[in-house]
Structure 1
Amino acid sequence: MRVLLKITDIIDVEVLQRIQDSFSDATGLAAVTVDYKGNPITEYSNFSEYCTCVRKESSNRDCCFQSDAHGGIESARSGKPSIYICHGGLVDLAVPIMVKGNYLGAIMAGQVKIDEEEMKRLPFGTSHELTDFSKNPEIMDLYDKTLKTTLTQVRSAADLLYTIANYLVEKQMIHIIQEELHNKNLELMEEVKLRSEVEASLKEADLKALQAQINPHFLFNVLNTIGRLALLEGADKTQEMIYAFSDMMRYTLKKEKNNVVTLKEEMEHVQNYLSIQKMRLGNRLNYLVEVDEMAEDILCPFMTIQPFVENAIIHAIEPNARGGEVRITADILKEIAILKIVDDGKGIPDDRIHKILDGTYEADGREKNTGIGINNANKRLMYYYGVDYGVEIKSELEKGTEITIKIPRKSLAGRGL
C-alpha cells in the first residue's frame, strides 16, 4: 500500500518558518507556505497592509484565494516557480515543493509592484479581470505605498526560495531513505539471526530430537504396556500396538534425510501416536482427528504437529485422574491450512506460554523435553514461512489449551527443505 507523504513529513515547519521570516525581512516580500490543498502551514511573514485591507471583504478574499490557487497549480504543473499578477494588481510568486514528481505544497510570496512595462510580460493569476479599487481611497492609498521592485529581483527571489525548498526536501529525503535502509537492515539482521538459530539448532541435532520426539518416558510406557498386554490377554491388541509403534519408528527413520511431508503423512503419524496412548491410558483418553481432504496434500515440515499432541497428553491428560480429550483438526481457509490441537486440561499460565515459545522455559524431566520440541517447531515454522506463521497458543486455566498453526499452500523448496 502506498503511503502519501505530507509536506510536514518532509520539512521541519519551525525551520521553514525561520527561513521564511528571514527571507521576508531581507527582500521585503510577503511569504507563507501552504500544503497541497492551499492550507497555510506557517505563519504569514511581512504581509502587506494593502493585502490585509483588501482581504477584509469576503468577495475580495475569495479572489485572493483563487489567485493563490492558480499560482500553486501552475507551479505544480511545471515543477518550477510561477510568477503572476494577482487580482489586486500586485506581483506574486509560487515556488512548488515537490517529492519524486508529487506536489506537496508551495511557498507563496510577493505582494509587490513592478514597472508597468514589465507587468505586461506576466500572466494573470485569475481568469477574472483585475479588481477595480479606484472608488476606495483607503485601499488605493495603501496600494501606492506598497513596495515596488523589479521583475529581475522577483525572479531572483523565486529562484532563491526554489533552491532553499529543494535543499530542505533533498536533505530530509536522504534522512528518510537512510532510516528506511536502517530498518530494512534490522529486519534482514533479524531474519539472518533467526535463520542462524534454526540452522544451529539443526546442526546440534535439535531436529534429530524432534524426529526422536518419542522420549524415554514414552518408550518406557509403551514397552511396559506391550509387556502387560502380551501377558494378560490375546495377541490382537498387542499386534495392533506393535504395528502402530513400528509405523512411528519407520516414519521417523525414513524422514531422516527428507524434512518435508504431506499433512496426510503427518496426521497418520499423530494417529499412530494417539492410538498407542489410548491403549496405555484406556478410557482416560479420548481423541478426535479430523482433516479436510483438500488439506491432505499440503506440504509441511516434518514433526510439525506431534510435539504439541505429546504436550497435551503429558500436561493435560496424564495428571488428571479422569483423563480428558484431545482434538486435532485441519481445515482450509482460502490458501491456508488451519491446524488446531485442543485439549481440556488445566491450561498454561500466560508467562509460561511466552517462555515456551521463545525457548527460555526450563523444567525437569519430560516437561523440559516437550518445551524444546514446541520451541523448535515454532522456530521452524517462522523460518520456513515467516513470522506471521508462527505458533499461536491460547489457554485458560482449568479449562484447556488451543494451539493454532497456519500453513500456507506453497512450496518449501526455497528454504532449503
Structure 2
Amino acid sequence: MRVLLKINDVIDVEVLQKIQDSFSDATGLAAVTVDYKGNPVTKYSNFSEFCNCVRKDSNNRDLCYQSDAHGGIESARSGKPAIYICHGGLVDVAVPIMVKGNYLGAIMAGQVKIPEDEMKKLPYGTSHELTDFTKHPEVLESYDKAWKTTLTQVKSAADLLYTIANYLVEKQMIHIMQEELHNKNIELMEEVKLRSEVEASLKEADLKALQAQINPHFLFNVLNTIGRLALLEGADKTQEMIYAFSDMMRYTLKKEKNNVVTLKEEMEHVQNYLSIQKMRLGNRLNYSVQIDEMAEDILCPFMTVQPFVENAIIHAVEPNAKGGRVEITADIQKDGALLKIIDDGKGISRDRIHKILDGTYEADGREKNTGIGINNANKRLMYYYGVDYGVEIQSEMEQGTEITIRIPRKSLVGRGL
C-alpha cells in the first residue's frame, strides 16, 4: 500500500494528542496513534500497567508494533474499525486514518478484557499464538489487573473514535485544498502578469526594434572588414562576406509579419552571423554549428538563438587575446528539441545571470543591447511555451558558460504567432 503523505501532513499532532487523551479519560480505554508501520506518532494515553510492562522489553515491544501495524492495515482494508486480540491477549481497536484512498496510519485503542465467549468471536492481531509470559510473573500479575468491559462497549468506543478520526482528516483536507487553490491562484496571477508584460513588450515598434537588433558596432566592424578585404585580397572572401551579411538582413526583414521560423532557418541565420565574425576575428574565433536533421522542422520564435551567440562573442571571445570557441547544437528529443550554446570564456557570475534574465542588468553600449536581446528571448520563450520553459544559464568563473533552451514540439497557435 503506497503512502503519499504522513499523518502530521494532514492532522495537527498536538490537537490529536489532546483529543486522544480526552477520549481515554472518557472511555477508560488506552489509546495511541501509530503510522502505517505501527510506530507511535503520539504519546501513550492511559496505557495499562500490563502494556507498559510488556513494552519495556524490546522484543515484546516490536511484537506490539507489529500487532498495531497489522490491526491498522486490516482496518484500512475494510474501511472501518478493526477489533482484534493483540499478542498479549487483550482486546484492541484500530481506527484507520485514510486520505484519498491512501492508508497513513491508525488510532489504536483498547487494552481491555471482555467475556471469554465474546473473545472467541475476535481474530488475532498477528497470529493464532499468544506470547508466553509464564517466565515473567510480574507481567502475568499486571495482566490480571487489566480493565474488564464488554464487546458492545468496545464497539461503541470504536465508532466514536472513527467519527473523530474522519472529522479531523476531512477538516485538515479542506484546509490543504484551500491552500492548494490559493497557490494555484497565485501561479495563475503570475502567469497573467507575465503574459501582459510580454504582450506589452511585443508591440509592433518593439518587435521591429528586436528584428533590427544588429547593433551599430557590429555593422561598423562588418563594413570595415569588407573594406580591408576588398583592398588587400581578391573578391572571393569579400563576396562570401557580403552574401552572408545579405542573408542575415534578408532573414531579419522578411520576418516582419511572421515571427515563427524553423530551427533550420534559425541555425542558418546563426551560421551566417558566425561566418562574418570569423572573417573579422580570424583564428581568434573557432566555432561549430550542429543540428540534428530530425529537429530541423521544429518551429521556434524568430531570433531565439542569435542573441546568445552574440553574447558569447562579446564576452567569451573578444576580451581574450587568444580568442575562444563557441559551440551550438540542436538535438532532437521526444517532445521537441534541446538547444545549447557553449563557450569557453571567463564565465558569468550568478548575480549577473539573474539580472540579465529579469531585465535589471544595467550596461552601456553594445553589451546593453545584447543583455536586452537575451532578456527578450527568454521572455518570449516563456510566453509562447509557458513558464516551465525559457532559458537556463549555467556558468562557472573561468570555466565558460552553457546556455540551454528547450523548444517543445507543440503548437504556437493562440500565442500571437
1:174-224 Cα offsets, whole Å, 9 max, x none, are 222222222322332332232222222112644322211112232344345
Distance change >3 Å, CA 140–CA 392, structure 1 → 2 = closer
CA distance in 2, matches of 1:179, 1:114: 46
1:191 is matched with 191
Deviations 1:20-41 (A, max 9, x none): 2222122211122222222222
**Superposed displacement of residue 386, structure 1:** 4.4
Q: Specify whether residues 12 and 283 from structure 1 end up closer, same or farther in structure 2 by C-alpha distance, changes over 3 A only.
A: closer
Aligned position for 2:46? 46
Gaps of 5+ in 2: none
Compared CA separation, residues 138 and 298, structure 1 to 2 (3 A):
closer
Pairwise CA distance, 1:360: 0.9
State whether residues 31 and 45 of structure 2, in contact with CA within 8 Å, keep that contact through their aligned partners in structure 1.
yes
* Bigger mean CA deviation after superposition, 211-220 or 359-368: 211-220
Question: 1:123 corresponds to which residue?
Answer: 122
Matches of residues 229-268 of structure 1 in structure 2 within 5 Å? 235-268=235-268
Please list the CA deviations of residues 332-352 of structure 1 after superposition, one character each: whole Å capped at 9, or x if unmatched: 264354433344555444432
Q: Pairwise mapping of residues 212-291 of structure 1 onto structure 2 (< 5 A)? A: 212-226=212-226, 235-282=235-282, 284-291=284-291
Q: CA separation in 1, counterparts of 2:67 and 2:346? A: 74
Match of 1:363 in 2: 363
67-76 vs 246-255, greater mean Cα deviation:
67-76
The aligned amino acid for 2:162 is Y
In 1: Cα distance, 2:82 partner to 2:249 partner: 80
TM-score w.r.t. length of structure 1: 0.83
Q: 1:328 to 1:134 in 2, by over 3 A?
A: closer
Instruction: Decide which moves more: 328-337 or 6-15.
Output: 328-337
Specify the SS of the correspondent of 1:94: strand
Cα displacement (A) at 1:230: 5.5
Partner of residue 312, structure 1: 312
1:162 aligns with 2:171: no
Q: After superposition, where does 1:1-400 map in structure 2 within 5 Å?
A: 4-52=4-52, 68=68, 71-86=71-86, 90-114=90-114, 119=118, 122-125=121-124, 128=128, 142=142, 145-203=145-203, 205-226=205-226, 235-282=235-282, 284-319=284-319, 322=321, 324-332=323-331, 334-335=333-334, 337-387=337-387, 389-395=389-395, 400=400
| Cα RMSD (Å) | 3.6
2:342–2:402 contact (8 Å) kept in structure 1: yes
Asked if the contact 1:86–1:124 (Cα under 8 Å) also holds between the matched residues in 2, the reply is no
Q: 1:215 to 1:110 in 2, by over 3 A?
A: same
Deviations 1:68-92 (A, max 9, x none): 4554343222211233455666443
What is the CA–CA distance in structure 1 between the aligned matches of 2:116 and 2:285, rounded to whole Å? 100
- Partner Cα separation in structure 1 for residue 202 and residue 167 of structure 2: 52
Answer whether contact 2:87 2:131 (CA < 8 A) is retained: yes
- For the 8 Å contact 1:359–1:375, the answer to whether it is kept is yes
- 2:292 is matched by which residue type in structure 1? D
Quote the Cα distance in structure 2 between the aligned partners of 1:132 and 1:396: 67
TM-score, normalized by length of structure 2? 0.83
Q: Rate the CA distance shift 1:200–1:23 in 2: closer, same or farther, 3 A.
A: same
| TM-aligned CA deviation for residue 46 of structure 1 | 1.7
Q: Is the 8 A contact 2:36 2:69 kept in 1?
A: no
- Matched to 1:332, the amino acid is D
Task: Tell me, yes or no, if the aligned pair for 1:295 and 1:330 is still in contact at 8 Å.
Answer: no
Q: Secondary structure at the match of 2:393?
A: strand
Q: Within 2, Cα distance between the matches of 1:63 and 1:377?
A: 63
Q: Which amino acid aligns with 2:273?
A: Y
Q: Secondary structure at the match of 1:354?
A: helix
- Cα distance, 1:326–1:304 mapped onto 2, change above 3 Å: farther
Q: Which runs of 5+ in 1 are unaligned?
A: none
- Whether the 8 Å CA contact 2:112–2:149 is kept in 1: the answer is yes
Post-superposition offset of 1:50: 4.2
Distance, in Å, in 2 between the alignment partners of 1:72 and 1:284 is 72
Partners of 1:82 and 1:95 within 8 A in 2: yes
> Alignment partner of 1:43: what SS?
coil
The more displaced of 196-205 and 251-260 is 196-205
- Deviation, 1:48, is 2.1
Q: Secondary structure at the match of 1:149?
A: coil
Aligned residues of 2:134 and 2:140 also touching (Cα < 8 A): yes
Task: Give the distance between the partners of 2:3 and 2:135, measured in 1 at CA.
Answer: 51
- The Cα offsets for residues 276-300 of structure 1, whole Å up to 9 and x where unpaired, read as 3344445554444333333323322
Larger radius of gyration: 1
Identity %: 85
Q: Alignment partner of 1:147: what SS? A: coil
Greater mean alpha carbon deviation, residues 48-57 or residues 284-293: 48-57
Asked if 1 retains the 8 angstrom alpha-carbon contact of 2:36 and 2:73, the reply is no
Q: How many residues align?
A: 414
CA–CA separation in structure 2 for the residues paired with 1:354 and 1:65: 52
2: CA distance, partners of 1:48 / 1:304: 72
Is the CA contact 2:295–2:332 (under 8 Å) kept in the aligned structure 1? no
